[in-house]
Structures are given as structure tokens and as C-alpha cells.
Structure 1
């Protein structure tokens, strides 16, 4: 994450992959799980405030669609982790 965007917004990974969110910008961020679409998985994840240089990890063990956004910036800063053989044809609020 940097300033006002997660990069990449969409990330495809295999089950069992650990994803790292690293704040490389100057603004503070919070990674919050959310469900923008009915096809997305409901999951519980919320980080503490991530300041510049901070990072957080999460292991995605189950196949699914995991949407998230920045709890400080709002839905205009969001992303999705696609785990396994899944796809999301819908746009995210930040796309």
C-alpha cells in the first residue's frame, strides 16, 4: 500500500500463501475485511494502524475471494485476494 491505493488491487495466489501488506507511503492505513459482493467470502481481519514502514501478514489457507479496504481511507482504497481457482468479474469500488 502506498498513499491512497493498494498495489496490486487484485492479487491471485495459491491456497496456503501468506500475503504481506506493507505500507510504503507516508499516510497511515488499516486493512479491514469487507464483503462488497455476494460471491466474496465473509472473513474477519482488521489490523492495527499501519504507519510508514509497517507491515502485516495473513495466511490464506482456503480457496475463496477475500475483499478488503482501508478503514481510514474508505472504500476508494480497496483490494481483493483471489485464492485458488476463483475469479471476480465484478468491479471493486476502488476500480
Structure 2
């Protein structure tokens, strides 16, 4: 079902849209807002699904990348300005 490049690209678009929505909510309502937290949890779910569907199909003998490592590298590259 999954694994094709088109499905992977569509999944990545969904993740990026959710990430942008979460950033917008963080700027509008604050980082501790229930709306921002809910959106963050939905993004976490999408990211977990992505890694289960696409990352595990590469090589069954490869060492899995821990999600915290991926998240930290993303935060270092694309750190968000502080919300006011």
C-alpha cells in the first residue's frame, strides 16, 4: 500500500502543512495554548506514522534513527523565533 514515492511525497506534504499550522497557532495563541498543543500532538502522530511506514522499509538490517535525534536536528536547522 505505502512505499511509493508519490505516497511518500503526499505524506511529507501533510507533515509540512501540519508543522506550518502548529507554528501559526504558536504565534497567534502561544506555545501553551490547547490549540497549539493539540496540533503538536497531531504532528507527532503524523511523524510517527511516517517513520513506521517509510523508514522501516529501507533496510531491515539498518540501525533505526531515534526520533529525538531527528527532532533535535530539525530544531537546530529551523529554530523558530520566540512567540510573543
TM over 0.5: no
Higher helix share: 2
The normalised TM-score by structure 2 is 0.27
More strand by share: 1
Greater Rg over alpha carbons, structure: 2
